[in-house]
A = this chain, B = another copy of it.
Amino acid sequence: MRHGAVSAGRRTRARAARNAWRRGEILRSAGRVLQERGLAGVTMEHVAERLGLTKGSLYYYFEDKEDLLYQCHLQATAASLEALRRARPSLPPDGRLREVLMGHIRGITGEEHGAIMLTDLETIAPARRRRIVAMRDRFERGVRDIIREGIETGVFARVDVRLAGFAILGAINWIPKWYDPRGPLSPDEVAAQMAGLMVGALRR
């Protein structure tokens, strides 16, 4: 019995892990297709095809297409928030901002959850959209806080914090439009160079 229970537990856990991995695979696939064809051109079949599945299978893992898109957004936004959380508070504002931005950029250029930031939130129903927007706002606020602190400390020039935040995040979110992973710059290099550029632009 105990043995049986453990065994059952093991099975379930292994299954669950497999399941989660599959979900992740689908999300990545969706991210890549999204980047290639643009939101307007993505079909469930495209997403499935890329994994050698049929579109029917996708519905075993996700409620519907919107759910799939939503999870993509969620994951991408969560990754950026994670970068914010991770930034070592011991660093001065410029160093800290650099870390946050690099994390954000890596999340966007990496394979994990291809640049969904770009796609329109308009296609997602209000309830789900609110959650994404709330997370995104929290991230933006975090970035602005660092900029503000930098100005007060005298490390950064006296810019309009709100606008500067928008400008920096816009510059970053735009990266997928021109960045080619097969090009000479690795994701890490882009992250480092772009983050350096931004922080350098703020510094005085």
Q: Tell whether A157 is near chain B: CB-to-CB under 8 Å.
A: yes
Chain B residues contacting A164 (CB-CB under 8 Å) are 197
For the complex of A and B, 10 pairs with smallest distance between CB atoms:
A170-B174, A38-B120, A201-B201, A38-B122, A167-B171, A170-B171, A40-B40, A171-B171, A39-B40, A40-B123
A37-B36 Cα distance, complex, nearest whole Å: 21
Q: Tell whether A202 is near chain B: CB-to-CB under 8 Å.
A: yes
Given A41-B122, A163-B194: 5 more A-B contacts, CB < 8 Å:
A38-B119, A38-B120, A160-B193, A163-B197, A168-B171
CB atoms of A193 and B40 under 8 A apart: no
The residue from B41, B121, B178, B193 contacting A120, defined by CB atoms under 8 A apart? B41
The residue from B38, B163, B173, B174 contacting A123, defined by CB atoms under 8 A apart? B38
Tell me how far the C-beta of A109 lies from the nearest C-beta in chain B, rounded to whole angstroms.
Answer: 13
CB atoms of A37 and B202 under 8 A apart: no
Chain B residues contacting A84 (CB-CB under 8 Å) are none
Please tell me the size bucket of the interface on A: 35 or more
CB atoms of B157 and A200 under 8 A apart: yes
Q: Tell whether A2 is near chain B: CB-to-CB under 8 Å.
A: no
A135-B173 Cα distance, complex, nearest whole Å: 22
Chain B residues contacting A197 (CB-CB under 8 Å) are 159-160, 163-164, 167
Which residue of B has the minimal Cβ distance to A165?
A: B178
CB atoms of A170 and B160 under 8 A apart: no
Per-residue interface assignment for chain A, residues 148 to 188, with 1 indicating a CB less than 8 Å from any chain B CB and 0 otherwise: 00000000010110011011111111110110000000000
CB atoms of A173 and B175 under 8 A apart: no
CB atoms of A163 and B38 under 8 A apart: no
